[in-house]
Chains A and B, each alone.
Chain A
Amino acid sequence: MNADKTFTILDKEQLIPGQTSKLVVSAPQIALKAKPGNFVILRIAEKGERIPLTIADTDPEAGTITMVYLVMGKSTAMLDELDKGDEILDLCGPLGKPTHISTEAGTVVCVGGGTGVAAMHHIAKGHHRAGNKVVAVIGARSKDLLLFERELGQFCDKVLIATNDGSAGVQGFVTGVLQDYLENESDIGEVVAVGPVPMMAAVAETTRPFEVKTTVSLNSIMLDGIGMCGACRVTVAGDTRFACVDGPEFDGHEVDFTELSNRLAAFKTMEQAAHDHYCKCKCDD
């Protein structure tokens, strides 16, 4: 039972130049066990912090997992400096509860925003494989920033698009598209939303009057990712739950999104300091 000892980057693709990239990493053990909804925790350098990333796809036969990240702070900036052939220092997983996938869900509407589309992609694929009809709703500011449109098109029954500038699909937000779909279609078994907190909160409010089961995948701050520290705690239906072991998926109608976005801001100044320190150190080199 030797777990993977090296995690080599086999492929890297810039999805949105300078902002979002996709990595295919060799991790046979994780690839074998990972299911839609799972995430990993990785560390890039000896002095690095542990950061969670959702698994966007797996290939158990090739022994690889795919991850998509947005360059935001120091750690993701460091990750972005790695290239094909480089190794990720630590990669731990698969973590979190897998998505609950019923084979009789009917139509599952998967809504994705930002890098959340990557996680949504894996969940949508799981539903498709289970024989459910999958409709994807993806959004971005403009056409060039849309992620996974082609991949989703390969197995989704429909891919509905919303862009802020109208350069692709409908002009507006994913919630507008979702609202239309909910009003016009009747066989919707479940709505899944992954993306920025305001988007997930808006999706939950959009579906609430329709009483459609709505699952959200939460991106709370994590440290160990194995249920030890409680940093990732979220209030769901009035109870404190841990995104890392009880989630990351919860009933969107029960999540306290205000608390979640407040908690996500906890380290903002320190993250900025770390990023500035990193940039300064790089300049000094």
Chain B
Amino acid sequence: MTEPIKKKKKPLAPRVPMPNQPPAERVKNFEEVALGYTYELAVNEARRCLQCKKPLCVKGCPVEVPIPQFIAHLAEGNVGLAYETIKTTNSLPAICGRVCPQENQCEGACILNKKDQPIAIGRLERFAADQYVHIDACDLLTGRRDCVPVDPSKRVACIGSGPSSLTVAGYLSSRGVKVTVFEALHEVGGVLVYGIPEFRLPKDRIVAKEISALGLQEVEFVTNSVGGKTFSIQDLFDRGYQAVFIGVGAGLPKFLNIPGENQNGVYTSNEYLTRVNLGRAYDFPNYDTPVIRAKNVTVYGGGNVAMDAARTALRLGAESVRVVYRRTVADMPARREEIEHAEEEGVIMETLAAPLAFSGDDRFNLTSVKLQRMELGEPDASGRRSPVPVEGATYELDTDLAIIAVGTRANPLLISNEPELKLNDWGYVQVDEKTGETSIPNVFAGGDIVTGAATVILAMGAGRRASKCIAKRLGCEREGD
């Protein structure tokens, strides 16, 4: 038998780069860093897609966006159809296109990633979403087919208004369920509003728009309402809700547990980012929430939150900002893009260093930090080389603002007031992995309160899983659900 003649493959075009605000400009403002693809750039990038028969990218996506299909529409220049395709499974595409760790998910799974640069799926999703973010979800292409009439007898409550709850609200309301979302803070959006900075996720232009689209699907938002305090889970059932989704986030910040940590000038990343994002402290005193503006800032941790805090500090006028991390840049859990953006902007990566103690002046204000030089030792059980102290190698850095971004623990507010709710070994809510249902029947949970601090898209995936089960119970699933 003769070998079939191999078709000569066309060399693949390089991945279309994202236009960004120049670093020197953007450190002076809170405007979005990534400017987004133009129509031409998006179509060019979409045409790189191989349209695999068995698309691995979809498997990498926690909310199962039909990726090849939406990209095919984009490649043909049909942005509307592309957006509609994304919207069939993702209620917050403009947000996901911006903050998902695509490199570990869809793009990480992309077949091209093996030998070449993967398709810029996140950027394409963002492009499609941005073209339609000003159009109300139900009016999309005039069909109004996504907005089925809401049946007031089918009622579901979500506690918390972050990405997992918003996903539940989007999914169920599009299937005719009356959803009410309860939020403890005065603004809806959870971590999207208090945690992720404006320069990565614009609040008014993007988050508020996606949320108002849910309002058009008759989702009701109730602010200033704390689960476990203002109301209990039983109160919700008593009021006629048939299912409850708990998406209250992880909450309680972790500390470094070193001397001097309670001095003024030592913030948790939650405090720092909440002051700036939710309280708009960058515009103090026009806004009333204050925040320390410091000269020499040190940030502890190597995740996205650490990058967000460091880049925020630069924008608030810091002269030097250092991210202190025990391992190397390559080991940092943050998205590559965020690390690169931070470095371009001038954030110094103070790697292989661990904090030992904070010192302050006689007025209890932070002045410096003592650091321990680290090196990478033998690989541990997980195969990661663990950092070990270099004996005698300590040094001191001036710092008048320290931001601790080393993660969170489970927030006790709701769970300590709901003794029926079974917790797992780490103190988070225990759920059935397939459905997201908790130990209380018809009470579901998802997002950081189940997994511990994770990503927006994982929270959305959990919301989607729970929604499917709730829809089935309420008898309102659609074909293909």
Q: Are B251 and A228 in contact (CB under 8 A)?
A: yes
CA distance A283 to B279 in the complex (A): 25
A240 lies within 8 A of chain B by Cβ: yes
**Out of A1, A2, A228, A277, which one reaches B274, CB within 8 Å?**
A228
Chain A residues with CB under 8 Å of B268's CB are 229-230
Chain B residues with CB under 8 Å of A278's CB are 285
B231 lies within 8 A of chain A by Cβ: yes
Residue interface mask B229-261, A partner, CB < 8 A = 1: 111000110010100000001011101000001
Chain B residues with CB under 8 Å of A47's CB are 280, 286-288
A50 lies within 8 A of chain B by Cβ: yes
A137 lies within 8 A of chain B by Cβ: no
B284 lies within 8 A of chain A by Cβ: yes
Given the known interface contacts A47-B288, A223-B279, A228-B251, the answer about A245 and B270 at a Cβ–Cβ threshold of 8 Å is no
CA distance A3 to B278 in the complex (A): 21
B317 lies within 8 A of chain A by Cβ: no
CA distance A36 to B159 in the complex (A): 25
Q: Are B255 and A1 in contact (CB under 8 A)?
A: no
Q: Are A267 and B290 in contact (CB under 8 A)?
A: yes
Please give me the residue from chain B that is nearest to A235 by CB atom: B262
CA distance A260 to B236 in the complex (A): 38
Chain B residues with CB under 8 Å of A227's CB are 251-252, 411-413
Given the known interface contacts A226-B411, A228-B252, A262-B364, the answer about A49 and B230 at a Cβ–Cβ threshold of 8 Å is no
Please give me the residue from chain A that is nearest to B237 by CB atom: A1
**Out of B194, B262, B286, which one reaches A259, CB within 8 Å?**
B262
A16 lies within 8 A of chain B by Cβ: no
Q: Are B252 and A1 in contact (CB under 8 A)?
A: no
Interface centre among B194, B229, B287, B288 (most CB of A within 10 A): B288
Please give me the residue from chain B that is nearest to A73 by CB atom: B288
Please give me the residue from chain B that is nearest to A244 by CB atom: B413
Q: List residues 256-277 of chain A with CB under 8 A from any CB of chain B.
A: 259, 262-263, 265-267, 270-271, 273-274, 277
CA distance A2 to B224 in the complex (A): 11
Residue interface mask A41-59, B partner, CB < 8 A = 1: 0010101111000000000
**Out of B224, B236, B274, B285, which one reaches A273, CB within 8 Å?**
B285
Please give me the residue from chain A that is nearest to B288 by CB atom: A49
Q: How large is the interface on B (under 10, 10 to 19, 20 to 34, 35 or more residues)?
A: 35 or more
B184 lies within 8 A of chain A by Cβ: yes
Q: Are A30 and B275 in contact (CB under 8 A)?
A: no
B41 lies within 8 A of chain A by Cβ: no
Which among A89-97, A124-132, A151-159, A178-186 touches the partner chain?
A89-97
Chain A residues with CB under 8 Å of B279's CB are 49-50, 223
**Out of B241, B255, B287, B412, which one reaches A230, CB within 8 Å?**
B255
Chain A residues with CB under 8 Å of B224's CB are 3-4, 90-92
Q: Are A265 and B274 in contact (CB under 8 A)?
A: no
Q: Are B225 and A3 in contact (CB under 8 A)?
A: yes
Please give me the residue from chain A that is nearest to B238 by CB atom: A1
Q: Are B364 and A95 in contact (CB under 8 A)?
A: no
Q: Are A274 and B285 in contact (CB under 8 A)?
A: yes
Chain A residues with CB under 8 Å of B222's CB are 1-3, 5
**Out of A3, A43, A265, which one reaches B182, CB within 8 Å?**
A3
**Out of B186, B274, B280, B284, which one reaches A43, CB within 8 Å?**
B186
Interface size, chain A (Cβ < 8 Å): 48
Chain B residues with CB under 8 Å of A90's CB are 186, 223-224
B226 lies within 8 A of chain A by Cβ: yes
Chief secondary structure at chain B's binding surface: loop
Chain B residues with CB under 8 Å of A229's CB are 253, 268, 270-271, 274-275
Chain A residues with CB under 8 Å of B289's CB are 49-50, 223
Q: Are B229 and A95 in contact (CB under 8 A)?
A: yes
B44 lies within 8 A of chain A by Cβ: no
CA distance A50 to B241 in the complex (A): 30
B157 lies within 8 A of chain A by Cβ: yes
Chain B residues with CB under 8 Å of A87's CB are none
Chain A residues with CB under 8 Å of B249's CB are 228
A33 lies within 8 A of chain B by Cβ: yes
Chain B residues with CB under 8 Å of A43's CB are 186
Chain B residues with CB under 8 Å of A245's CB are 252, 411-413
Q: Are B271 and A230 in contact (CB under 8 A)?
A: yes
B89 lies within 8 A of chain A by Cβ: no
A224 lies within 8 A of chain B by Cβ: yes
Q: Are A1 and B184 in contact (CB under 8 A)?
A: no
Q: Are B185 and A224 in contact (CB under 8 A)?
A: yes
B367 lies within 8 A of chain A by Cβ: no
Q: Are A224 and B288 in contact (CB under 8 A)?
A: no
A75 lies within 8 A of chain B by Cβ: yes
Q: Are A74 and B274 in contact (CB under 8 A)?
A: no
Residue interface mask B334-374, A partner, CB < 8 A = 1: 00000000000000000000000000000110000000000
Q: Are B262 and A226 in contact (CB under 8 A)?
A: no
Given the known interface contacts A90-B224, A227-B251, the answer about A1 and B186 at a Cβ–Cβ threshold of 8 Å is no
B165 lies within 8 A of chain A by Cβ: no
Task: For residue B87, give the distance in angstroms from its CB to the closest CB of chain A.
Answer: 29
Residue interface mask A213-240, B partner, CB < 8 A = 1: 0000000000110111111010100001
Q: List residues 240-264 of chain A with CB under 8 A from any CB of chain B.
A: 240, 242, 245, 259, 262-263
A29 lies within 8 A of chain B by Cβ: yes
CA distance A48 to B253 in the complex (A): 24
**Out of B270, B284, B292, which one reaches A228, CB within 8 Å?**
B270
CA distance A43 to B230 in the complex (A): 17
Given the known interface contacts A3-B231, A92-B184, A92-B224, the answer about A226 and B413 at a Cβ–Cβ threshold of 8 Å is yes
Q: List residues 151-196 of chain A with CB under 8 A from any CB of chain B.
A: none
B438 lies within 8 A of chain A by Cβ: no
Q: Are A94 and B288 in contact (CB under 8 A)?
A: no
Task: For residue A97, give the distance in angstroms from its CB to the closest CB of chain B.
Answer: 9
B320 lies within 8 A of chain A by Cβ: no
**Out of A2, A30, A235, A271, which one reaches B290, CB within 8 Å?**
A271
Residue interface mask A74-110, B partner, CB < 8 A = 1: 1100000000000001111111000000000000000
Chain B residues with CB under 8 Å of A273's CB are 285
CA distance A262 to B363 in the complex (A): 7
Task: For residue B375, give the distance in angstroms from its CB to the closest CB of chain A.
Answer: 30
**Which 3 pairs of residues, A with B, have the shortest CB-CB distance?**
A262-B364, A229-B271, A270-B290
14 residue pairs bridging A and B, Cβ less than 8 Å apart: A3-B182, A3-B224, A30-B230, A33-B229, A93-B226, A94-B229, A223-B274, A224-B184, A224-B185, A226-B251, A229-B253, A233-B262, A259-B364, A274-B290
